[in-house]
A and B are shown apart, each in its own frame.
Chain A
């Protein structure tokens, strides 16, 4: 290819200082795939999505879940999503921004959902994750606990668990922990 290099070098000298193209923003393959995911979103009525940085930043967005059944009926829970440029090779980073009394979500907002970590596959998408999160509210499970205490209560005393959830969502203490109102 050396001949080409030579030709290019000559062209470059001529073109030096000529009208250069304006610097353009590049879109990573991850961003494009995310564009596809987002434009095909099909969310249940209980879930909504918003883009705090406007329509051109899809890599950071928020999802609000308002469960319509189960222990968490009536609550509003906000999740933040951070998507990497090599999405979908890597799962989005998801955090729960609402402090919640939940066996699978800890008080810092870490979420134990298998498809967010060990079971993530590039064929999954944003829709799948949102359904997965929704599922955590209709079917909290004590077998994969992140909030150890909440999991133990759910396992041993579902009635107490239910009243703890109501108290937390209404804004109040469960044990030593204060929860802000999210209803």
Chain B
């Protein structure tokens, strides 16, 4: 033993990746190869470079991931600095994604982080298909729903409605609100997706407009009055921009006047921002806990070194501490991640014939169907104005209406007649045109 090996940077990681174990994932193959592959082949996208995003980038970089990208549309603000620890005072005004990527690369050698300073909707879908895992550090239902839909759009099912593993795009989603947080693993086709359980979110608190106009009782009422009612009166048609400090100041000033009129205390500029922008209070340590859980799940999905969280972890530090993992269940009819109903057709079938077929299809039994394809309404049963606009499509071949794509998804709404009961339903259909070049070949390749 002349030279002891230099202490490895991945010493702690090696304990997970190089040794076999009893509680590992089903496809776990420990060894140096795994560690090297993880570094070479795993590409992870971090969505959001805020409180969770900063933590996620740091955690993933320190967990051995070498190929990271981060996307965020925001610029750094002074109020971020207490917890978004990658940022400094001199960074205020710079794009979060760029500064976060740079800081982590400076500290962790060998990691490459590509920043994207833009909206998530600005990237085309192909951009997202490049990543193996998507880690979410977001603060809105809307953004989560969007990324979830993109990730699920890559998922394909075989003819027996089994999801194809190679088309799954796993996501790890974190979220915090003060002392509370959640971490969840979404493997489209295997676990429920975000849309399967979206109904679990409580509705947003919205004050009645007449309360705001007539009987304000607290500071938030005064602010919402200025924001929702007074703004329109004073700015004929000009839209309120929450990111414009002048607009925010105007709303604040009006809210103060309103509060004085009714003798209500507590209107401050920061509360105005909080109410108008729906800002959620953030605590650095909650972010750290949730991000750590998400980063570990990302590592587990990629390496198989342990079974993954199944599938929704909640953390609540409000009164004492409570944490629990709940296994959410899939909605088998989910429009976003579900297989939908496979319908095989000749390329000559007209839209009218197709609609008639849905009535007979044993898995659908849908009459009076309205059909929509990727944002194009092919036929609408109602209202009359839309029926008239779409009627001429009925005599056209569906294949042509679907831009001659041999297999794709479309959606149908109609009356479902099941067990002599009628109910209205919205269904996802996987349309597969028979005898179109390419389709048969692909199917055989899949089955071989």
Contact = CB atoms under 8 A, between A and B. Distances in A.
Contacts of A118: 206-208
A111 interface: yes
A26 to B, nearest CB: 6
Interface in A76-123: 84-86, 89-91, 104, 106-112, 114, 117-118, 120-122
B42 A2 contact: yes
A145 B130 CA distance: 54
A35 interface: yes
B118 interface: no
B383 A38 contact: yes
Contact of B214 (A43, A50, A148): A148
Nearest to A105: B209
B150 interface: yes
B279 interface: no
Given A38-B382, A49-B385, A55-B389, A32 B335 contact: yes
Interface residues of B, number: 67
Nearest to A57: B375
Interface string A49-76: 1110011101000000000000000000
A159 interface: no
A159 B210 CA distance: 24
A14 interface: no
A150 B268 CA distance: 33
A38 B125 contact: no
B145 A85 contact: yes
Contacts of B206: 91, 117-118, 120
Interface string A146-176: 1010000000000000000000000000000
Given A1-B27, A5-B132, A110-B209, A38 B374 contact: no
A8 to B, nearest CB: 7
A56 B374 CA distance: 10
Given A2-B303, A108-B229, A145-B214, A28 B146 contact: yes
B213 A55 contact: no
Given A29-B335, A35-B377, A5 B209 contact: no
Interface in B194-210: 195, 198-199, 201, 203-204, 206-210
Contact of B380 (A6, A39, A89): A39
A86 B199 CA distance: 11
B51 interface: no
B146 A35 contact: no
Given A35-B370, A35-B413, A43 B383 contact: yes
A135 interface: no
A161 B26 CA distance: 75
A48 B124 CA distance: 37
Given A23-B124, A110-B229, A120 B372 contact: no
Given A35-B372, A39-B382, A55-B380, A89 B198 contact: yes
B208 A144 contact: yes
Contact of B302 (A1, A85, A145, A146): A1
A120 B209 CA distance: 13
Interface stretch (B33-41, B55-63, B92-100): B33-41
A24 B210 contact: no
B412 to A, nearest CB: 9
A40 B414 CA distance: 8
Interface in A1-46: 1-9, 12, 20, 22-33, 35-36, 38-43
Given A29-B145, A110-B229, A39 B385 contact: no
B189 to A, nearest CB: 13
Interface string B224-268: 000011001100000000000000000000000000000000000
B41 A146 contact: no
Interface string B356-394: 000000000000001010111100111101100110000
A2 B37 contact: yes
Contacts of B153: 26
B117 to A, nearest CB: 21
B433 to A, nearest CB: 16
B145 A27 contact: no
Contacts of B160: none
A89 B201 contact: yes
Contact of B132 (A1, A29, A35, A84): A1
B347 interface: no
Contact of B377 (A1, A5, A55, A91): A55
B390 A28 contact: no
B426 interface: yes
B385 A146 contact: no
Contacts of B413: 35-36, 39-40
- By Cβ-Cβ distance, the 4 closest A-B pairs, closest first, are A39-B370, A144-B210, A108-B232, A25-B375
17 contacts: A1-B168, A1-B170, A3-B29, A5-B302, A6-B41, A8-B166, A22-B403, A23-B124, A23-B126, A32-B411, A39-B370, A39-B380, A41-B383, A84-B142, A90-B204, A117-B207, A148-B214
Interface of A: 1-9, 12, 20, 22-33, 35-36, 38-43, 48-51, 54-56, 58, 84-86, 89-91, 104, 106-112, 114, 117-118, 120-122, 144-146, 148
Given A1-B132, A39-B381, A89-B199, 16 more contacts: A2-B302, A3-B37, A5-B42, A9-B41, A22-B403, A23-B126, A26-B374, A36-B424, A41-B383, A55-B380, A56-B377, A85-B145, A110-B232, A114-B208, A117-B207, A146-B213
